Amino acid sequence: MDPATAREAATLGIWTFLATEVLLFGGLFTSYIIYRIKYPQIFYEGHLKLDHVLGAINTVVLIGSSLTVALGIAAIRKGKVGLLRLYLFLTLLLAGTFLGIKYVEYTEKFSHGLYPDTDIFFSLYFMLTGLHGLHVLAGMVLLGAVLFLAGRGRYSESYHTPVEISGLYWHFVDLVWIYLFPLLYLLG
């Protein structure tokens, strides 16, 4: 396979994969719609118990990490490996911050006796944010691998498909949160 075809194949592959991810979360979003219509009161009371300040901070953190990934890709397109590594490191830092804040939030919920089996709102809250959290973790592993390989001099101006693909995945993870935040924390 020549490099140009390989690049096109990889791009088509990651978009197809992201489509499967949309469907995976789709099941949860569908449940959200159904149960929200069925039990508006539970959802209203549930959202009051979430910390929308921490949620908002986390939204900013994740959008920031999307920015650093994009800057990293821009850097490697010009062949600046050092800059790419810096931006990837910042992305991992932000992702870690996100998970840290999530941990604080979960602990807080547990201390108030709010668990996945409390009611349908918290079932949804924990499943949605939990599955999203796993995706953040997977993204960190992916970007960590890219960071490691960048250190080994694997990527250059002419070849950086894995960087772009991991970046696309990371944007997707970010995008899911951009839906989750208003649906869970803000809608009353």
Binding positions for another protein, rule: CB under 8 A:
1, 5, 8-9, 12-13, 16-17, 19-21, 23-28, 31, 34-35, 38-39, 42, 115-117, 119-120, 123, 126-127, 131
- Comparing CB distances to another protein, the nearer of 1 and 48 is 1
Report in angstroms how near the CB of residue 16 gets to another protein at its nearest: 5
Candidates 132, 115, 133, 98; CA nearest to 46 is 115
Alpha helices in the chain (DSSP H): 3-38, 40-48, 52-77, 81-111, 120-151, 161-180
Least distance to another protein from the beta carbon of 38, Å? 7
**Running DSSP on this structure, what letter comes out for residue 79?**
T
Closest separation in Å from C-beta 123 to another protein: 4
Least distance from C-beta 31 to another protein, angstroms? Answer: 6
Q: Which residues contact 128 (CB under 8 A, 6 or more apart)?
A: 25, 28, 32, 180, 184
Nearer to another protein, 32 or 155 (CB): 32
Cα separation, 169 vs 172, whole angstroms:
5
- Identify which of residues 41 and 158 has a Cβ nearer to another protein in the complex: 41
